Structure formats: C-alpha cells, structure tokens
Structure 1
C-alpha cells in the first residue's frame, strides 16, 4: 500500500516509530533522498527504517554519487582508449574493472535505498510506496489528510508519446546494427554498446504504453 502525503502536509508530517520497511518497532531514523534522481542528496526526508535497511541506506548515501561517477569515468576511459587504440588495454583488465563495479552495486556491499523510499510526485505530493498496512494505518491516524492508496501513479506522458519515442529508438537501433554488421570492418565497442542501450531503452519505453501497474514484480523478504 502506498501513502500519499499532500504537499501542504510534508513539512509537518508525523511519522510513527514503526519501520516503513518491515513494520517492526526496532527502528533507525535515516534521512533519505526524495528526488527521483537518487544520486542527488537533496532534498532529504527523515524516515524510520529497520536496522538492516538503515545500514544499507546510509552506505548508499555515503558513496553516491561517487559510485555513479566512477562508472561514468570508466565507461568514458574505455570508450576513449578503444577509439584511439582498441588493443591498448587488455580485455582481462577491463573485465576486472567492470566486475568490481558490478559487485559494488550489490546492496550488501554498496548499499541500497529501500523500496519504501519516498519521492515527490509531479503534483508536488510526497508518495511513500509499499508501506505495510499496519504502518499505513498509523500514518493516517496521526496525519489527517494523508491518503492510503493501491492505485499506481499515472504516467507523466501520454501513451502516444511513449509509443513514438520507443519506435524512434528501436528504428535507430536497427539501422545502426545494420550498418555495423555490413561495413566490413572492426567497429568500436562503444557503437555496439549504443545499439544495446537503444534496444533496452526502446523496450523500456514501449512498456510504458501499458497502464501503470499492469506489470508487477513480487518482492521477496530475503
């Protein structure tokens, strides 16, 4: 169940001492970012979390945005070296570097924000997703005006907008793939990455033409 805190109540919202992650009474209060761009540390919202989620959240906040910057720097370095001299850096070295960054992205190592991390909606309200029902009831009791809901957040764009841009990205990906496979020479790896990015981005955008909440993934407690 999601909780929607109207914009006028955000500054004065009262939170029960129950973890929004598990519903337990053993809580740690952590300031988490509420921007949809999670690498941004501001603005923040104080939130009661269970101890394990709190440790992961603090670790994530401590090392972001440095982890994202490291990924971008590695990608830029690899693309530059590969464009100038594809054989300057051996593949095992790059594989080790990418593997290290991948392992750091695993929550037990690099940390992670919980699924219940709130975010600001386009209307300016604060939405806290997937809160346990007993916790949601306490929020509503303490804050008249807070609305519990199971309705997914509407898409910010129209279905036609998502369908158009999905088609554009997939067409460009197919065209680029055709050029790369028929130019008769060894192309830069960054071009192949570009094809994959366009395909995944086009597919993800196409999924947004479906109604919000049409596809759901069950989360385990482990």
Structure 2
C-alpha cells in the first residue's frame, strides 16, 4: 500500500486515526448535550436542537475544536465533563504495533491534531503516546485548523519536511484535501474511525482500517 522508501516524514492525526473516535462522537453527540440539557433544565432533544446550528456554524473552524470557546458559549466545564467519560479513550486496533514500527525506523514522526491542548493532555494521560513522536502539534498553536492552508505553512516552518516525501493519515476527508492542496503526496484515509459505527466511504483517497496492512516499515 505504501512504498516506505519514498517516505521521510509521517504525519498522523489523533482522534479517529490513532484513537477510537467513539469517545469524541459520544461526547459531542450525546454526553455533552445531556449535560447542557441538565444545566439549562430542558429536554435532551431541545438541547440538541439548540446545539445543532452552533455545530454547523463552527464546523471546520478553530472554534469547533476549542474547549475555551465551548466553555464560554455553553457555560460548561468541558475538560471536567470529558474526564467523566475518559475511560472511553482507547487506541484503534493495531495502532500500537504501527507506532512502534515507525518509532524504530529513521523516519520523522509527527502528531498533528486539531484537538485543544487540554483535550490532548487528557488523552495523553490515558494513553501513552508522546514517546512515539518527534513532534506533537496542536493546530491551536498556529491559530488555524488543519482544514486551512496557513496551518500547513506554519507546520512546514516548524518541522522542515518535504511534502513530496511525506505520508499523512487522517479520518477527515476535508483535512486530507487541504493537505493534498498544500502538496503532500502520500495520503491515506481511515475507513472506520469509530469502532461502534460501520466503515465510511473514503471517496478519492485510499482507505485503511488495520495498520497491519502498512507493515513492515523499512528505513
């Protein structure tokens, strides 16, 4: 699937790519709306109806991923609420074997996530990931999400990689398209980011479910 001799840098998303997206889907679609409904004294359906247009308006924007924005908008302690269901944070199947193989290679391995720093910290408390990476970068550091071109420009300045010799894996098709537009040559889409849901279409991108299909990795 990948000719590893053509790859110097591996860029990896976190949620839905390394970690099971079930935690995030459950949090945003069920658990947090229930907490908001409880705080406002309204039904869960009413809470979801209130939240839906806010979700649509912020989709693909940095605010969507910003826990500070949601805390201010909804008057909810988002970190505390996430901690209540932190036991749902788990690795996707075969992720550990894949990361171990990458770590043992000579390739530059970089985590790039839209997750807010507090969300990243919470997940790193549950799952030890940092030792696998040369860099761990949240888009909040740059002020732009991965969906937007300036993110990639800032990234290139920080880690100095050749887009034509980089592999990027993500579960978001809009983000993969943004990376492709920047010039990243090797792209893979996660076909089943949420273990509780069926696989999704990866459209123009080659899809991958198990990382075992990418092994072995050659220097």
Q: TM-score range by the shorter chain?
A: under 0.3
Higher relative contact order (CA 8 A, sep 6+): 2
TM score, norm. by length of structure 2: 0.26
TM score, norm. by length of structure 1: 0.25
